[in-house]
Amino acid sequence: MAKVLVIDDSQDMLTLLQMILEKRGHHRVTTCHNGAEGLQVATTDLPDLAIVDVMMPGISGYEVVRQLRANEATKNMGLLILTARGQPVDKEAAMAAGADGHIAKPVNMDSLLAEVEALLERKQQEALQQAPPTPMARPSVPEPPASSASPQMTMAFFSLKGGIGRSTLAVNFATLLQQIAPTILWDLSPNSGHCALYLGLRPEKHWGEYLENPGTDVAGLLLRHQSGLALLASPPVPGQSGWFRDEDIENVLRQLHAAGRFVVVDMPPVLNSAATLILQRARRIVLLTGDDGPAIQTTRFTLQAIQEWQARLLVVRNAARPGSHPLPEALQRLLQTPLQGDIPYEPMQPEAAHKGVPVVALQPQAGFAVGMKRLAKLALTR
Amino acid sequence: MEKNRTTAEFFAQGYRVSGTFYVVTRPLADEVHDPTTDYVPLHDAYVSPIMNPSRISAYYRDALFDKNNLDFVLTVDQRDGLRRDQRFGLGRYSFKIFLTVPFFEVQGELRLVTPKLDSRVYLSSEAGTFITLLNVTARSTFNPDVQYEGGVAMVSRLRVSFFGERVE
């Protein structure tokens, strides 16, 4: 779910675009009737993408695009010019002003949506490539306490509600990060976790061996996926390996970070001491929610329980089942917190699991993959 | 939602005007070809000089275009540039035409019911002030890199200074 700003002096066009982008694109849309208002909203709301009409009374669309590109806060956002002036010279003018694309009216909505999705994806790729070696958070976001165990970036995928697709998302997220830098996925499930299965790996080595012998070199327990992603797998047989003490967590995290820049932890659905310690150490906590009653209840109470880390929290809805889902606004009202991500249902998941290739690698254009890339961008750049 | 309006490019005397025509009463082409009226009413008209056609130098919510001074009108969608009668069928014979009007060289396809085109006869004795060309490319005379493309151009017969059939 991206934030899209539409600037057009035609109310008909605004209504149409808002409807299409929200209902079919699942984006959050803000509309403005003129360039001046659009500039103001863009600099305060910081949308991911703006669709700008050229011919508007007052400031023209070209000038809006020029000013957005000149502004440090908005210079990297996606900018599409949508105009009835569809001649080659107009396209050149749009590009010269700084737009990423030019769409002529009357517009085919399928083409527009495809253009929007492609541009959002391109911007995410650019953001991922431009991510600094040690990703920085906004100064206002309190960082986890300095620790020798977290010199780089730990990201935790967390939900106290099971069956919500946490492992699926963690696997796909880690696969995306692997495209940027060496990444390790830690399947912390005590109950025969599924990350190895989703990656087509046999959990012949797993963290249970470390617990049996705390002197074990954790790097030697990593399984390697064809993408280069390393996995610290969960023991296949539950109940035989004991559990982590706080010092174990610190030690394993330290060793994992020595082996890779990003550590993605597929958290167990509990809030015990070890889980709490990882959440404390994590630079980003992706709290997954569903949109059914039990999931909403669990998420609301989880938010209360981990409110001290709210600044590092990304609340994400995962549509783990097909069918209709409530609009993000409705879910946000029920959760009483903003959603930072909205991952659509992906029917290819069983096939991806069968092949041992995450959807983000198997079908990078799928809506699910696009949603995951947005989430990765947000986690790295927010 | 947008079907009650047509946006077209109007070219006249060194200016490019992008304007919207409300097609509630009749199509744009019917309005342009109507010999009993002198003006085309436009809404949201954006004016640019031909020498800098992407710069919007003026905007008018409502405007009139004097048909007597029009060089040509260009529509992207072919349906918008055809009269109601033309929509039922154009001539089966196609001729590649090159013509010049002030500031532009225009290339397009002329459709006739006769297999032979006599340019002199066509220009002097055919009824109607505007010639309908299909699949048009109009190139700016003084800036040949700038060209306009459209499904239909309605070219003022009175403004044509050169008219030739291209044989390929």
Q: Where are the domains of chain B?
A: 5-70, 79-165
Reported pTM: 0.55
Pick the CATH number of B5-70 from 1.10.287, 2.40.30, 3.90.550, 2.30.30: 2.30.30
The structural domains of chain A, with segments of one domain joined by +, span: 3-130, 146-381
Question: With an 8 Å Cβ cutoff, are A55 and B77 in contact?
Answer: no
Cβ atoms of residues B148 and B119 within 8 Å: no
Choose the closest CB to A16 out of B1, B20, B149: B1
At CB < 8 Å, which residues of chain B contact A?
Answer: 1-2, 7, 9, 18, 20, 44, 46, 53-54, 56, 59, 61, 76-77, 146-149
**pLDDT per residue rounded down to tens, chain A (382 residues):** 788 999 998 888 899 999 989 888 788 899 999 999 999 999 988 899 999 998 887 888 999 999 999 998 898 899 999 988 888 888 889 999 999 999 988 778 888 888 898 888 888 777 766 655 433 333 333 444 434 333 478 999 999 988 889 999 999 999 999 888 889 999 998 888 899 999 999 988 999 999 988 888 899 999 999 888 999 999 988 877 788 988 899 899 989 988 888 999 999 998 888 899 999 889 899 999 998 888 889 998 899 888 888 888 999 999 988 888 888 888 888 888 888 888 988 888 888 888 889 999 888 878 898 889 888 888 887 5
- Would the CATH topology of A3-130 be identical to that of A146-381? yes
The domain made up of B79-165 is a member of CATH 3.30.300.30: no
CB contact under 8 A, B149 and A88: yes
Superfamily of chain region A3-130: Response regulator (3.40.50.2300)
Domain topology for A146-381: Rossmann fold (3.40.50)
Find out whether B83 and B111 touch, Cβ atoms under 8 Å: no
In this structure, what are the phi and psi dihedrals at residue A258, rounded to the nearest 5 degrees? -70, -25
Residues in Cβ contact with A7 at an 8 Å cutoff, skipping those fewer than 6 apart: A31, A32, A33, A34, A35, A37, A38, A50, A51, A52, A53, A56, A61, A64
For tokens 């003084």, the residue is B142
